[in-house]
């Protein structure tokens, strides 16, 4: 469900279940957390890139998996998602999200935890949680407030509206827009730039 590649001191993690729109299942989150923990204890890494496959960044929770959750499962899943986001925020190396398509629900929260967010002009963000009877549970609201004006987040959350890449760029959600073939090279360029 996750593919990994190494470009020198930069690791690239790709969500690799495009037929299901790259859902962030328990297994995917657990694997991502394990990758982050392994990277944190090594001086080898200069950075991490997170992206999706099949023209989709990620679609948030796996709704089929979610439908079978007990209340205890749901609480554990929320805690796991929050741990992943916290690990991303506090990494000793920079994290770049290459949003190569839709970033929906928890995927938007995950992208907001990255230090730099690149996207394609065709990408969009959306948070349909309330329309599905769910609440954002991974600290996404706090991340949005830190990155974007709160009123716009309330509108996004209450309506489930799509926000285009260009609007997301103006809001500060995305830092740069590039055609998809340029996303990874640009991320590697940023991460390999000499730093003091």
pLDDT in tens, the chain (196 residues): 899 999 999 999 999 999 999 999 999 999 999 999 999 999 999 999 999 999 999 988 888 898 899 999 989 999 999 999 999 999 999 999 999 999 998 899 999 999 999 999 999 998 876 555 555 666 665 666 566 655 666 777 778 889 999 999 998 899 999 999 999 999 999 999 866 5
How wide is the angle at C-alpha 175 spanned by C-alphas 169 and 180, nearest 5°? 90
- Secondary structure E strands in the chain: 2-7, 10-15, 47-52, 95-99, 103-104, 116-119, 124-126, 163-164, 176-177
Per-residue pLDDT at 105: 87
Per-residue pLDDT at 171: 86
CA pair distance 22, 56, nearest whole angstrom: 7
Nearest CA among 162, 103, 152, 160 for reference residue 130: 160
Per-residue pLDDT at 176: 98
Per-residue pLDDT at 15: 98
The structure tokens listed for 33 are 């957390």
DSSP letter string over 67-99?
A: HT--HHHHHHHHHHHHHHHHHHHT-SS-EEEEE
Residues in a beta bridge with 23 = none
Per-residue pLDDT at 127: 81
Per-residue pLDDT at 158: 77
Per-residue pLDDT at 66: 86
Per-residue pLDDT at 161: 85
User: Where along the chain do its domains lie?
Assistant: 2-176
For residue 175, what are the CA distances in angstroms to 6, 163, 183?
24, 15, 12
Q: Write the CB contacts of 40 (distance below 8 Å, at least 6 apart in sequence).
A: 87, 91, 92
CATH architecture of 2-176: Alpha-Beta Complex (3.90)
């Amino acid at each position: 469900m996750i593919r990994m590649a190494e470009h020198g001191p930069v690791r690239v993690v790709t969500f690799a279940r495009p037929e299901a729109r790259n859902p962030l299942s328990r297994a995917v989150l657990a694997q991502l957390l394990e990758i982050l923990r392994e990277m944190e204890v090594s001086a080898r890494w200069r950075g991490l890139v997170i992206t999706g496959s099949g023209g989709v960044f990620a679609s948030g929770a796996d709704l089929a998996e979610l439908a079978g959750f007990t209340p205890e499962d749901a609480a554990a899943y929320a805690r796991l998602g929050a741990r992943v986001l916290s690990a991303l925020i506090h990494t000793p190396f920079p994290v770049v999200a290459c949003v190569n398509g839709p970033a929906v629900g928890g995927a938007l929260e995950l992208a907001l935890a990255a230090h730099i967010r690149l996207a394609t002009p065709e990408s969009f963000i959306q948070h349909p949680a309330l329309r599905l009877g769910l609440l954002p549970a991974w600290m996404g609201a706090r991340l949005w407030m830190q990155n974007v004006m709160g009123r716009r987040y309330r509108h996004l959350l209450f309506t489930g509206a799509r926000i285009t890449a260009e609007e997301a760029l103006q809001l500060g959600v995305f830092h740069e827009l590039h055609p998809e073939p340029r996303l990874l090279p640009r991320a590697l360029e940023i991460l390999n730039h000499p730093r003091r």
